[in-house]
């Protein structure tokens, strides 16, 4: 039985120690640890990397602290359009959805595309309809609404001089206690998990609301196989977060895997090359997490923080937020 391992992120951005209240800091650490433990429980029981990833990402999608599922950012029209992708490094099977508005767990929709359709990538209403046909939970768009994201939208539209859409009529009037703990790490955020299971298979998954005030059906890197997500047992599994337009142009996730596979770089050297060198040089901001079939785990980010956690067979869990955390 191979050693299992799992790494999770909850988005990278302007996340500084001085900006988070102690209860916010504690809330993010608690949920990142809980997510890692939930994934680890699947792996410890001999479960598949894909199952660990889906279980862990569903928790993050349901938590309004993160820009994925409930708590996702709004488009300029005042809608929430969610993107997600997943990939199995053992078979190179992959699935993705973009612009879903009614599927509670976009990561599960991506997995259903991978496992139950002849396609890799579905978009918009069709993706929601497919998810429903697979028995996945459908919700009203208001399910994803949070007051603080609405306020961020209004601020961003004012900054850009764009019209402010009508506030959704069914939106909850007040922020709940959990949502009030959310930290504004900028216009973005994403969640992702990579895992190595006891059968030696690596996989990766990513889920996001994209970027605040996005227009024209904008889609970022998160649902794009090769950009925001990639997994191959020949190298590693990678999930990204950050300014999607840069990650797409650098094919970040696939390139990290190629550096490991074709150039023999260590996992940490490969993620650092893409993030600290290439992404930074191009002017992009963000971070990545990765795991390799031999159990190597790595993360790298060029922002002030990234919510993150890692855990492996026989190793103590590590949870971090800021640059100077371990």
Residue numbers annotated as active site: 190
In whole angstroms, what separates CA 71 from the centre of its chain?
Answer: 13
Specify the residue, 42 or 84, whose C-beta has the smaller distance to ligand ASP.
84
* Among 10, 71, 99, 220, interactor with ligand ASP by CB under 6 A: 220
- Work out how close the CB of 63 gets to ligand ASP at its nearest, in angstroms, rounded to a whole number: 16
- Work out how close the CB of 240 gets to ligand ASP at its nearest, in angstroms, rounded to a whole number: 6
* Among 71, 99, 189, 226, interactor with ligand ASP by CB under 6 A: 189
- Taking the C-alpha atoms of residue 257 and residue 290, their distance in angstroms, rounded to an integer, is 9
Question: What is 117-137 written as a DSSP string?
Answer: SS-SEEEHHHHHHHHHHTTPP
* Among 10, 11, 39, 78, interactor with ligand ASP by CB under 6 A: 11
Specify the residue, 278 or 313, whose C-beta has the smaller distance to ligand ASP.
278
SS3 state of residue 320:
strand
SS3 state of residue 107:
helix
- Work out how close the CB of 237 gets to ligand ASP at its nearest, in angstroms, rounded to a whole number: 17
Burial classification of residue 184, based on how many CB atoms lie within 10 Å of its CB (0-12 exposed, 13-18 middle, 19 or more buried) = middle
| Diameter over CA atoms, the chain | 58
Hey, what are 182's tokens?
């959310």
Stretch that binds ligand ASP, among 53-61, 168-176, 193-201, 218-226 (CB under 6 A): 218-226
Binding mask 14-43 for ligand ASP (x = CB under 6 A): ------------------------------
Specify the residue, 211 or 231, whose C-beta has the smaller distance to ligand ASP.
211
**Residue 63 binds to ligand ASP (criterion: CB under 6 A):** no
The count of chain residues that interact with ligand ASP, using the rule CB under 6 A, is 14
**Which residue is listed with tokens 């609301």?**
209
For residue 190, give Cα distances in angstroms to 44, 112, 144, 174, 241: 26, 20, 15, 24, 6
Q: Are 318 and 326 in contact (CB under 8 A)?
A: yes
Q: Are 231 and 204 in contact (CB under 8 A)?
A: yes
Specify the residue, 11 or 47, whose C-beta has the smaller distance to ligand ASP.
11
- Work out how close the CB of 82 gets to ligand ASP at its nearest, in angstroms, rounded to a whole number: 10
Instruction: Please provide residue 187's backbone torsions phi and psi, each rounded to the nearest 5 degrees.
Output: -85, -5
- Work out how close the CB of 242 gets to ligand ASP at its nearest, in angstroms, rounded to a whole number: 5
- Taking the C-alpha atoms of residue 256 and residue 204, their distance in angstroms, rounded to an integer, is 13
**Residue 152 binds to ligand ASP (criterion: CB under 6 A):** no
- Taking the C-alpha atoms of residue 144 and residue 310, their distance in angstroms, rounded to an integer, is 27
**Residue 241 binds to ligand ASP (criterion: CB under 6 A):** yes
**Residue 193 binds to ligand ASP (criterion: CB under 6 A):** no
Specify the residue, 75 or 241, whose C-beta has the smaller distance to ligand ASP.
241
**Which residue is listed with tokens 């949502």?**
179
- Work out how close the CB of 65 gets to ligand ASP at its nearest, in angstroms, rounded to a whole number: 14
Q: Which residues bind ligand ASP (CB under 6 A)?
A: 11, 188-190, 208, 210-211, 220-222, 228, 241-242, 244
């Amino acid at each position: 039985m191979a050693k299992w391992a799992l790494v999770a992120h909850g988005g990278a951005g302007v996340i500084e120690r001085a900006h988070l209240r102690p209860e916010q800091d504690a809330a993010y650490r608690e949920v990142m640890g809980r997510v890692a433990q939930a994934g680890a429980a699947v792996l410890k029981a001999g479960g598949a990397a894909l199952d660990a990833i889906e279980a862990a990402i569903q928790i993050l999608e349901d938590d309004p602290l993160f820009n994925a599922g409930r708590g996702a950012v709004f488009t300029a029209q005042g809608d929430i359009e969610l993107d997600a992708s997943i990939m199995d490094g053992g078979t190179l099977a992959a699935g993705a959805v973009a612009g879903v508005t009614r599927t509670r767990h976009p990561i599960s929709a991506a997995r259903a595309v991978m496992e139950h359709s002849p396609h890799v990538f579905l978009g918009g209403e069709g993706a929601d309809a497919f998810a429903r046909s697979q028995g996945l939970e459908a919700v009203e768009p208001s399910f994803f609404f949070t007051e603080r994201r609405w306020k961020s939208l209004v601020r961003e539209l004012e900054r850009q001089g764009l019209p402010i859409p009508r506030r959704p009529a069914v939106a909850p009037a007040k922020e709940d206690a959990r949502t009030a703990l959310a930290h504004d790490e900028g216009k973005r955020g994403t969640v992702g998990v990579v895992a190595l299971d006891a059968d030696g298979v690596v996989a990766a998954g990513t889920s996001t609301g994209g970027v605040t005030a996005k227009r024209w059906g904008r889609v970022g890197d998160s649902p794009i196989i090769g950009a925001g997500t990639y997994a191959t047992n020949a190298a590693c599994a990678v999930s990204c977060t950050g300014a999607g337009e840069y990650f797409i142009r650098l094919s970040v996730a696939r390139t990290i895997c190629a550096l490991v596979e074709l150039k023999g770089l260590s996992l940490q050297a490969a993620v650092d090359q893409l993030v600290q060198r290439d992404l930074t040089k191009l002017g992009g901001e963000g971070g990545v997490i990765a795991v390799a079939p031999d159990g190597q785990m790595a993360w790298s980010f060029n922002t002030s923080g990234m919510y993150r956690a890692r855990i492996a067979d026989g190793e103590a869990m590590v949870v971090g937020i800021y640059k100077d955390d371990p």
